[in-house]
Amino acid sequence: MNNSDVVFIDFCQTFLPAWKKHLISFGIKQRYKLSRLSVSEVMTIVIAFHQSGYRDFKTYYIHFVCRYLTNEFPELVTRGCLSLCKMS
């Protein structure tokens, strides 16, 4: 685990409880569906996308993340599932 991973994990541990408390206090109803990836893993992928030079996220995800980062993120959503999510 490198320093940026620790920063993301610390941020998520601080931010998420405060955010959930804010949503509850304003009466905003949210789905709490369990995710296969943690918030810090999603943030890492999104930040890497912005630094990558790819023009759209789907291309980045299919051609880079699914191909080269499966060891780092073993619970990645597959390409087929990604296509279904886009269609709905």
pTM above 0.85, yes or no: no
Digit-coded pLDDT (tens) for 35-59? 778 777 888 888 899 999 999 998 8
> In terms of residue numbers, what domain contains 82?
3-87
Torsion of CA 51, 44, 2, 69, to 10 degrees: -90
For residues 81 and 54, the model is more confident at: 54
Counted domains in the chain: 1
Residue in this structure with the two tokens 């759209």, named with its chain if needed:
56
DSSP 28: -
| More reliable by pLDDT, 7 or 37 | 37
Percent of the chain residues past pLDDT 70, beyond the cut:
65
